[in-house]
Structure 1
Amino acid sequence: MAEEPNPPTRGALAKLGLARPEARAWAMYDWANSAFMTTIITAVFPIYYSQVANSGQPSHVASGRLAAITTLGMVIVALMSPILGAYADHTARKKPLLGLFLALGLAATAAMFFIHSGDWILASVLFVLANIGANASFVFYDSLLPHVASDEEIDRLSTTGYALGYIGGGILLALNLAWITKPEWFGLPGPDAATEAGRTLRVRLTFVSVAIWWGIFSIPLFRRVPEPRLAGGERWAAMHPVRATLGRLRETAGDLTRFRHGFLMLLAFLIYNDGIGTIIRMATIYGEELRLDPTVMITAILIVQFVGVPCSFLFGSLAGLLGVKRSIMLGLVVYTVICAVGYSMTTETHFLILAGLVGVVQGGTQALSRSLFASLIPRSKSGEFFGFFAVVEKFAGIFGPAMFAAINFATGSSRGAILGVIGFFVVGGLLLALVDVPEGQRQARAWDLEHGGRAGEPG
């Protein structure tokens, strides 16, 4: 049974949506998992995968393989997420399931230490497992959001979580960059070491550092965020958990069409987040294909992290002034410009400029998408609905990388795929324009009141 939230505090923390200890503990998981997203997904691992794990292979082959294994991991998570979400709601086990997949992600990430030259198969398997662990954990993490934040706090807490993620991921990435470029400061062998193991040690240690960081800073969530109590599921209580889970899953699939505006939001998110995810996942290996300096590319990721901190807060404020939907639309316009510039990119300066633009819109756009969807669904079915949200999010990580892989293998270059990403933002934006936010929020709260589903709602 969920505990009553602690009374909110006043001042700066309240303005950030961090008024209660459980809200601060929830947001810390963004700080924790962003180390994985920055170092493994975006910055260090793609370069290591291309230069070391795929040693001796053409750069476009490594790009195509990374896109293919990214697609595989996302498909697996997409198929699992609705069932896991429904099971978590039926059994009130969001946190234990989050912990299970967190452990998988930590183990696979730490095991990347053992990847050496030519080990592209091992690297691919560990990358898929780590992606499954991380992305499945996000299903349960996101589904806790409407239970720790009130309607008035939800946009602020979501954007603050992303801002904390930028800070946490940026700090660790800066440390990683320091011992990669200046290994002598840390007593580590450099690129001129006598053995391959010595030359790659400083990079392989970054993978271990991610697992440690991710694990330690996940602890507050398990200590302070209460497990939401069961609600609205009395008729399933006497059933076997597996049968009840499948029944609730079928019911929620039907409910998606009842909550028309939440459903439209899902479709819009499916399209435009495909573009966002493609840029996040393929930018570094695209730069590697263009022969840009690896240190410059990692520096660009740091720019994204630290520009993203104030800009995530800015988007939270913009949501209060312009509305959530218009703020997301603004982000999609900027992403369209990013793709147009990226298509003609030739220098490291261009890459750094693009990194700054991505930092302006990335966190805010995704955070507001998460909080907008959370406001359009019943709280008592948050795990199930966020299971479907995760399906959409993972499929949004499938089509773009798959397009990259196809164009890579067909043409030997990724440049054409960059321009093609614009279509995702245009179509997604048009669907988002059809979402009536106030009506969707009214329908979701009415369902909660009708079905006694206010369990876990903040006071």
Structure 2
Amino acid sequence: MAETVMPAVGDNPAPSSTRSERTGWYFYDWAMSAFSTTVITVFLGPFLTTVAKLAAGCELGAESCSGYVYPLGIKVAPGSYFAYLVSLSVFLTVFVLPVVGAVADRTTHKKRLLAAAAFTGAAATVGMLFVTGDRYLLGGALFLVANIAFGAGVVVYNSFLPQLGGPDDRDGISSRGWALGYLGGGLLLALNLVAVTMLGEDGNDQRTLDLARWSIVSAGLWWAVFTLVPLRWLREHPTATALAARGGNVLTDGFRQLGRTLRQIKAYPLTLYFLLAFLVYNDGIQTVIALASQYGTEELRLGQSTLIVTILLVQFLAFGGALLLGALARRIGAWKTVLLSLVLWTGVILAAFRLPAEAPVPFMVLGAAIGLVLGGSQALSRSLFSQLIPAGREGEYYGFYEISDKGTSWLGPLAFGLVFQLTNSYRVGLVSLLIFFVVGFVLLLAVPMRRAIVAAGNTPPKVL
């Protein structure tokens, strides 16, 4: 008999969900995490940086490049190109994701919206196959489409969470989803590691570039294929808002509803305060994820295989770390566990600044430390935020949330890129990220979580 999560007891009971339905939800994390890991974390930063260097007139494999590229007439150092692209993608998502969330709240066919976002992002990722030579503009455009579609898919995906379990169940559900995502992303990365190791040739930079391109394409295919699992197993849970809107135009009605939410959101100041804290500290986390491989390649002068092994180590340890911090949250509460993780993140940045160049082992040890705190801090932040959302507004609020979630941070990459362009030092750029973890910790510490949950009209979990 299928295990069932029973409805929560309180003012806003969650509908029951079956084990197969929750497993289907977990599998979207398995599917999309290939994009986070193989594309964002490992291959795309160095790949687009190399393509931008070629466009700037530098030779393939050159350690330094004094040229510039000029997208839309703007002078950009090739080493800053990817960081600026990440920031631009987030600027665009500010306008896209809240609208996607409002539409998700008002549709009775949320799975179709999930499919549209996932397959659009996967197609743009597969399109990287055509980014050859010096086509850095094509690569940048495809990344923008893929990353925005990725964010849109996560908004819809996250909006299912409050409908899968009650307040005391969501930390566990969220942690298991995140853990399975790291496992799936790690498995594809392991396959790419085998391919790079077996097919790569020392001194053949063109072969390395081609292998990176095909690894990126593989992530798009993985994303598309495994998205079929949640589309098959997830059930629709139309909210009262969606049922009331049935028969109308979900897009135009979604815009109107978003306008009403923006006017009314000040009625939930504590929810906004939590969101501000999350935007700050998660910006630091996402910048570390997005730019770690570029830091390892350009500053520490580590080989591609070392980077992939390290990120693979992060992935599999993050699987255990997400479950471990999820278990810790059951004992001391998710809020306290996230605060603890931010202290550990501060230590990670300080250690990364002192890493010696051309030393793979210390880099791998630091990667192991990242893995232990990465998954849990993200999974528990997601479940904490689900407690602060007024019933029926899950999509809209997760739209705001996702603006700074998985790989779509903007202040961190912007600060990193600007500091690099001014100092030509990735280490100095890394130090600029400390402020995000310190300020984020202080802001989160100041949130009265239990009062915030009650103010949103929800029932608090027993332990916070």
TM-score interval, normalised by the smaller of the two chains: 0.7 to 0.9
Aligned to 2:13: none
2:437 pairs with 1:441: no
1:281 matched to 2:280: no
* Cross-structure match for 1:456: none
SS at structure 2 position matched to 1:425: helix
Q: Which residue of 2 aligns with 1:20?
A: 19
Q: How far apart are residue 190 of structure 1 and its match?
A: 4.7
Letter in 2 for 1:341: A
With normalisation by structure 1, the TM-score equals 0.87
For 2:99 and 2:394, the matched residues in 1 are separated by: 13
Confirm or deny: 8 A CA contact 2:99 2:399 kept in the other structure.
yes
Structure 1 residues 86-125: aligned runs within 5 Å: 86-125=102-141
Specify the code of the residue in structure 1 equivalent to 2:192: N
Q: 1: CA distance between counterparts of 2:381 and 2:81?
A: 30
Measure the CA separation in 2 of the matches of 1:203 and 1:242: 38
Verify the 8 A CA contact 2:27 2:230 in the aligned structure 1.
Answer: yes
Query: How many Å apart are 1:370 and its aligned residue?
Result: 0.4
CA distance in 1, matches of 2:274, 2:431: 24
Does the CA-based 8 Å contact 1:35-1:214 persist in structure 2? yes
Distance 1:171 1:378 in 2: 37
Distance 2:5 2:407 in 1: 39
Q: Say if 2:336 is the partner of 1:326.
A: yes
Please point out which of 265, 274, 278 is paired with 1:265.
Answer: 274
Deviation at 1:84, TM superposition (A): 1.5
**Aligned residue in 2 for 1:453:** none
Per-residue deviation, 1:92: 2.9
1:378, distance to aligned residue in structure 2 (A) = 2.5
- Tell me the residue number matched to 1:355: 367
Q: Equivalent residues in 2 for 1:10-409 (5 A)?
A: 20-52=19-51, 54-55=53-54, 56=58, 58=64, 61-183=77-199, 190=201, 196=206, 200-232=209-241, 240-290=249-299, 291-346=301-356, 347-393=359-405, 397-409=409-421
Unaligned ranges ≥5, structure 1: 1-5, 11-16, 184-188, 448-459
- Separation of aligned partners in 1, 2:116 and 2:214: 24
Note the alpha carbon deviations across 1:39-59, whole angstroms, 9 max, x for none.
100112222223355332746
Task: State the alpha-carbon separation in 1 of the partners of residues 196 and 408 from structure 2.
Answer: 32
Post-superposition CA distance 1:377-406 (Å, at most 9, x none):
123111111112123448970101111111
Deviation at 1:191, TM superposition (A): 6.0
Asked if 2 retains the 8 angstrom alpha-carbon contact of 1:53 and 1:115, the reply is no
Contact between 2:124 and 2:142, CA under 8 Å: does it hold in 1?
Answer: yes
Contact 1:316 1:368 in 2 (8 A): yes
Q: TM-score, normalised by structure 2?
A: 0.86
CA distance 1:252–1:93, shift in 2 (3 Å): farther
Residue type of the alignment partner of 1:370? R
Give CA-to-partner distance per residue, 1:403-434, whole Å, 9 cap, x none. Answer: 11111111112211211211111111111112
Distance in 1 between residues matched to 2:449 and 2:226, nearest whole Å: 34
CA distance in structure 2 between the partners assigned to 1:45 and 1:238 by the alignment: 42
For the Cα contact (< 8 Å) 2:151–2:403, is it kept in 1? no
Q: Is the 8 A contact 1:78 1:390 kept in 2?
A: no
Distance 1:250 1:408, change over 3 A: same
Q: CA deviation at 1:444?
A: 3.1
Q: Contact 1:50–1:59 (CA<8 Å) still a contact in 2? A: no
C-alpha displacement of 1:214: 1.0
- What is the one-letter code of the residue matched to 1:205? W
Q: Partners in 2 of 1:222 and 1:268 — Cα distance? A: 33
Query: 1:350 offset after TM fit, Å?
Result: 2.6
Cα offset, 1:63, TM superposition: 2.7
1:45 partner SS: helix
Find the aligned partners of 1:274 and 1:42 in 2 and give their Cα distance.
15
Tell me: CA distance 1:235–1:106, structure 2 relative to 1, closer, same or farther (3 Å).
closer
Q: 1 CA distance for matches of 2:167 and 2:218?
A: 36
Change (3 A) 1:341 1:238: same
Q: Once structures 1 and 2 are overlaid, which stretch shifts more, 100-109 or 324-333? A: 100-109
Give the superposition deviation at 1:19.
5.8
240 and 33 in structure 1: CA distance in 2 versus 1, 3 angstrom threshold: closer
8 Å CA contact 1:53, 1:120 repeated in 2: yes
Q: Distance in 1 between matches of 2:158 and 2:34?
A: 17
Q: How far 1:95 sits from its partner (Å)? A: 2.0
* Cα distance between partner residues in 1 of 2:219 and 2:252: 38
Q: Which amino acid aligns with 2:96?
A: M
CA–CA distance in structure 2, aligned partners of residues 200 and 67 of structure 1? 19
- CA distance in 1 between partners of 2:110 and 2:103 (Å): 9
Does the Cα contact within 8 Å between 2:53 and 2:78 map onto a contact in 1? yes
* CA 1:349–1:65: 2 relative to 1, 3 Å: same
Q: CA RMSD in A?
A: 2.7
Q: Which amino acid aligns with 2:107?
A: T
User: What letter matches 1:37 in structure 2?
Assistant: S
| 8 Å Cα contact 1:78-1:392 kept in structure 2 | no
The answer as to whether partners of 1:86 and 1:383 remain within 8 angstroms in 2 is yes
What is the CA–CA distance in structure 1 between the aligned matches of 2:408 and 2:138, rounded to whole Å? 25
Alignment deviations for residues 197-237 of structure 1 (CA, whole Å, 9 cap, x no partner): x6644333212221221112111211121222141467766
Q: For the residues of structure 2 that align with 1:112 and 1:240, how far apart are their CA atoms? A: 35
**1:82, CA displacement in angstroms?**
1.0
**Contact 2:111–2:236 (8 Å) recurs in 1:** yes
Long gaps (5+) in structure 2:
7-15, 67-76, 460-464
Instruction: Determine helix, strand or coil for the equivalent of 2:393.
Output: helix
Amino acid at match of 1:379: A
Amino acid at match of 1:417: G
